[in-house]
Amino acid sequence: MKIGFIGLGNMGGPMAANLAAAGHEVTGFDLAAPVPDGVTKAASAAEAAADAEVVITMLPNGDILRSVAGEIVPAMKTGAVFLDCSTVDVASARAVAEDAKAAGLLALDAPVSGGIGGAQGGTLTFMVGGDKAAFDIAKPLFDIMGQKAVHCGPSGNGQAAKICNNMILGATMIVTCEAFALADKLGLDRQAMFDVVSTSSGYSWSMNAYCPAPGIGPKSPSDNDYKPGFAADLMLKDLRLAMQAAETADADTPIGEAAMKLYERFVEQEDGRGRDFSAMLPRFEKRGHGEG
């Protein structure tokens, strides 16, 4: 398949490399990041998009997505698939999909879960919104770049699924960290707490698969000085997107909002920037009841 790939950073670069390694003809463009092995370098986003059967974008935010879409939609051939894998606001995803459809293109929003390791290993999960026909065309590519792709409904629903998932993740990680800090102060051994909670009604992905306490449970970033598997900065971005969506949809999300405010403080006023989102645990260890 002829593929255009725009946005070759930490996520997009390995994804494009995996497609090229699987035998697809990939032409890539990025303003700064290097073009990976096996990918042909284009001089512009429009050049990467021209003649491609599928154009994939992996971009930082909705404004940049709208800008790039303005360049590539006119350059794409009728019937091609515009596959956006960025995590952006639902409104931008839907606006770009409408513009693509008006130009005779098929559109998918397909944000990912799995981080840089998942991009490199081809084990990402894709949450996909858009036409079923477009999903079927892109499915072989999802199978190369990831291990799972779920069609979530019409345009924008991929972004909706991602931010709902990550709102749960952000909140459960915070309360898991709070609980470990409380257990410490109650004299409860961390391993004993893990052994109870991980097999009781308090179990969660944050506790069982990604434990924020070093040396407890499966290996996680807490065992590597909280170097990011999923950075607190990115969790904050996703929680802000969730709150933006909640406001637009008139949804009541008080715990999601509290999680956003805690990550905001952690990243912008404390030492959270550039650390894993589970580094909330050392933060809570240092604090007393009612602080902040």
Catalytic center residues: 162
First to last CA, the chain: 54
The predicted structure's pLDDT at residue 290: 84
d(CA 230, CA 124): 13
d(CA 50, CA 38): 19
CA-to-CA dists, residue 144 to 15, 19, 34, 98, 153, angstroms: 9, 7, 21, 27, 22
The predicted structure's pLDDT at residue 159: 97
Question: Cβ(112)–Cβ(134) under 8 Å?
Answer: no
The predicted structure's pLDDT at residue 292: 64
The predicted structure's pLDDT at residue 104: 98
Tell me the pLDDT of the chain (292 aa) as tens digits.
999 999 999 999 999 999 999 999 999 999 999 999 999 999 999 999 999 999 999 999 999 999 999 999 999 999 999 999 999 999 999 999 999 999 999 999 999 999 888 999 999 999 999 999 999 999 999 999 999 999 999 999 999 999 999 999 999 999 999 999 999 999 999 999 999 999 999 999 999 999 999 999 999 999 999 999 899 999 999 999 999 999 999 999 999 999 999 999 999 999 999 999 999 999 999 999 988 6
d(CA 231, CA 272): 9
Read off the tokens for 188.
């409860």
